[in-house]
Amino acid sequence: MSDSRFLGTHRTWEDWFGMALGVLIALSPWFPTQNGHQYAGGTPSAIIINTVAVGVLVFGVAQLQYVALQRWEEVAAIVLGLWLIASPLFLGYSGDGMLRFIHTCLGGLVVLVAALQLWQDWDLSDGEMAQHGQ
């Protein structure tokens, strides 16, 4: 019989997956795109700084979740994922289809994982959250 609480319990692999997403986000400006590293719009340095900063923050929040679980960390991850999805519009590289697609997908994954974790931890007490990962 399968574990019916598989999606109902916050697992440490979700935190490791969040850390991996942070690394992928930070490295995404250097992924091969259809037009090389020539961005269709926006300033390349602003795009790179934004993406690396978001990746480092996603990695850091996921690492904090692994060490000491708090609900604000999941909310912060949702906000970071939504910003990554919206950043092509605000930074002017929405015309670069591949980088926009990569950021939308990675941002969507961050939002989905963080929303799942928030749902899993919603009814936990502070004591139960402190037991995470032990």
Return the H-helix or E-strand segment holding 27.
helix 12-27
Domain ranges of the chain: 12-31+41-130
pLDDT means per 10 residues, the chain with 134 residues, are 55 86 93 58 80 96 84 91 94 80 94 89 66 55
- Cα dist from 10 to 25, 70, 88, whole Å: 23, 12, 31
What is d(CA 116, CA 110) in angstroms, rounded to the nearest whole number? 10
Residues 98, 102, 107, CA angle at the centre, nearest 5°? Answer: 150
What is d(CA 62, CA 13) in angstroms, rounded to the nearest whole number? 10
Instruction: Read off φ and ψ for residue 74, nearest 5 degrees.
Output: -70, -40
Picking from 114, 53, 52, 102, the residue whose alpha carbon sits closest to that of residue 78 is 114
Q: What is the pTM of this model?
A: 0.82
The confidence score (pLDDT) of residue 50 equals 94
Structure tokens at 119: 């749902």
Contacts of 117 (CB under 8 A, 6+ apart): 10, 14, 65, 74, 77
- Mind listing the pLDDT tens digit for each residue in 38-74? 555 556 788 889 999 999 999 999 998 888 777 788 8
Residue 123: half-sphere exposure toward Cβ, Cα within 13 Å: 3
The confidence score (pLDDT) of residue 104 equals 93
